[in-house]
Amino acid sequence: LECFERAGREARHWNLRPPAVGLLTRRPIAISSTVFVLLMLSSVTFDGLLATPLWAGLAQWMIYSETMRPLLIALQDVTGNAVAAAATIALVAFLLLFQLLYFLFSALVLRSTPANAR
């Protein structure tokens, strides 16, 4: 709006675009932007996972697992209970797995694309 106000009367005009126009660009996207978007997507996906029976079973397994016990006990002092500690471990693992899968499939797509089409 500031640019509109500073422009001369003859230079003022409105540009209305449909939604999502302008999202595609020829410039490469920074890796940090990609990682940030993936973190947001994976955290929302993980939040949805917390409401499923799959998560209930996974949390129960983590709490009673002998291999997870030392890590859960260490985190339990910080989080306050074992379920929150299990959720913290699962969140970090899920975020890393989500990122890894994205970059793996990106590499597969790149490999399957002909060199002249890149």
Per-residue confidence (pLDDT) for residue 48, from 0 to 100: 96
Distance, in Å, from the CA atom of 13 to the CA atom of 99, rounded to the nearest integer, reads 42
Per-residue confidence (pLDDT) for residue 115, from 0 to 100: 82
Residue-wise pLDDT for 59-86, tens only, equals 999 989 999 888 888 888 888 888 888 9
Angle between helix 82-112 and helix 31-49 axes, rounded to 10 deg = 130
Indicate yes or no: pTM above 0.75: no
118 pLDDT exceeds 70?
no
Residue-wise pLDDT for 4-57, tens only, equals 788 888 888 777 888 888 777 788 889 999 999 999 999 999 999 999 999 999
